Amino acid sequence: MEFTTRTREYYLEALECGVITVNDCSVPPSYKLKDLDLIKHTVHIHEPLSPQIDIIAKQDDFWVVNKPAGIPCHPTGSYFEYSVTRILFKDKTVGCVNRLDMPVSGTLILTFNKAGEIHNLLQNAQKLYIAKVKGNFPEYEEVDQPIGTKSNEK
């Protein structure tokens, strides 16, 4: 198990105040885990309000929607209800044919039972990202590297 989402200091304090327990008991940071120990990390998360998801088209086997930026396609990480599939379909099993990263907006295809068939049709499709930039920038720039987020720098 990895604990990479928070700082070491957070986990030490969480152990001290009982937010993290082992076998439902508070333990010191020096505790050595044993086989079958149960680690419990109790957190209270407030998910953002669900945005409007515009439906572009509906078919029996798939829907096409306009995914807003800032929302994941399916439950992930700290978000369970705050995702396109949960907002539109609750507990129904739905596949994202062309999953878009959380910060990206765009056309998203959701399928109910023929994911392989639809995915095969899109095998040679290319994604086109349009970025809003500040300052002087060339009229056209091709990026062939992974897209990621970067903190605001001043």
Residues annotated catalytic, as ranges: 101
Are 104 and 129 in contact, with CB atoms under 8 Å apart?
yes
Residue with tokens 């937010």: 19
C-alpha distances in Å from residue 79, one per residue of 51, 82, 102, 116: 14, 5, 11, 26
Torsion angle of the four alpha carbons 140, 142, 119, 100, in this order, in degrees rounded to the nearest 10: -80
